[in-house]
Every structure is written in C-alpha cells, then in structure tokens.
A and B are shown apart, each in its own frame.
Chain A
Amino acid sequence: TQLLEQSPQFLSIQEGENLTVYCNSSSVFSSLQWYRQEPGEGPVLLVTVVTGGEVKKLKRLTFQFGDARKDSSLHITAAQPGDTGLYLCAGVRDTGRRALTFGSGTRLQVQP
C-alpha cells in the first residue's frame, strides 16, 4: 500500500487544457515536495511546501498544501507538450532521517 496516493495515475490531454494532480495521505507531513521526472533521468525538484494551506506558483504551475498537511495538489494551466513527464509528490515524515516517501506518480502526456 502506497503511503502517498496520487491521482490520476495517467493523464493524456491536448495542448492548452488545464489539469490538476492530487496527492493524498492519511499521514501528516512536515513538508511536501513535487518533482518531475523524464524517462531515464532522476527526478527534478519543482517546489517544496511547508506550511498548511500554503500556495506556491511557478509560472503556469500552482501548488497547494492542505491545511492539515496530509494532502497536496498541482494545477497546470494551459498545458504544453514540454510539460509531459512523470509527476511525483514526496513527503517528509520523520525529523530524524528526514527520508522522502514518494507518491505513486502521475504520468502526464500533453498532445500538441
């Protein structure tokens, strides 16, 4: 059972459409990060959210951390083919090792 569940698992949309990816858990996280991964490469950090209710914007991407710090969402406005990739949320639970727990992933394909 995945600690962090992402939905949808796969999304294929047309260029210009908007989309939202969800990352949900029953556990509380001290912080949550979103990554994008291209095939054959390591994940690249997009954003880190720390405070419950926090909203961060990165150009066409909007990230929100739930008030209870158990869930997060990523909204992309006017998607472009360059947004294609695997989107991963990852949470930090413990304050000891501060290891990342990755979500199940959302594979996004944006058709031109």
Chain B
Amino acid sequence: GAVVSQHPSWVICKSGTSVKIECRSLDFQATTMFWYRQFPKQSLMLMATSNEGSKATYEQGVEKDKFLINHASLTLSTLTVTSAHPEDSSFYICSARGRENQPQHFGDGTRLSIL
C-alpha cells in the first residue's frame, strides 16, 4: 500500500527556534498534501492544504506566517514552525493524496515539544 514518511518523529527544542517537518510520499506522486495538528486527547484539526507547485490554502485561524508550508515536488512537502513557542507544542500529522478521488494516506506524525 501507499506509504507516507514523516520526519522527524519527535523533536524537542527551545522557544524561539524554527522547526522543519518533512512529509514524503515514498511510492506514489502526491498531488495534494494536508497538514493536521492534534492536541492531547483531541481529534485532528486541518491546518492547511498544499498542492504541488502552488501556495498552500490555510484554514481559518491558522497563521500562514507562523506555519510555512512548501510543496515543491510531487513527493515532498515541508511544514516549518517559525519562532516556535510552548503553545505550538503538539502532534503534527501530514497526509498525502494522489488524484482527487483517491484516499489520503497518513504519516506517523511528529511530536513537537517546545521548552
């Protein structure tokens, strides 16, 4: 089946640091990638949708200057949390999809802890 790899799986860093998370589709071309955030004991909340070669579409309430998304190729999207603060600590999950009517395949998530 389709595999989506997310890296790193866990990162701990100091407040004010910028952190980059990678999402790769290993065996298919991902036209669209999605980024979600999940706080403890809560569900997944969509942050943004990115299409290869286009600017990401952000959900209401998500700061696009805070969460920079790049989808430069059909197999890689990155999420950069700029000047991270403790309130940005969360579980970030990406998913990737080929064609529009195909299912999303999820990565294993990145646990971000900001001290």
Q: Does A1 contact B (CB under 8 A)?
A: no
**Main SS of the interface on chain B?**
strand
Query: Given A42-B93, A97-B32, A98-B100, A88 and B108 touching (CB < 8 A)?
Result: no
Question: How big is the B interface, by class?
Answer: 20 to 34
- B103 x A43 contact (CB < 8 A): no
Could you mark each residue 8-48 of chain A with 1 if its beta carbon is under 8 Å from any beta carbon of chain B, else 0?
00000000000000000000000001000000111111001
Choice from A40, A88, A99 contacting B34 with Cβ under 8 Å: A99
B106: chain A residues at CB < 8 Å are 42-45
Which residues of B pack against A, CB within 8 Å?
Answer: 4, 6, 32, 34, 36, 41-46, 49, 57, 91, 93, 95, 97, 100-101, 103-104, 106-109, 111
Which residues of A pack against B, CB within 8 Å?
Answer: 2, 33, 40-45, 48, 88, 90, 97-105, 107
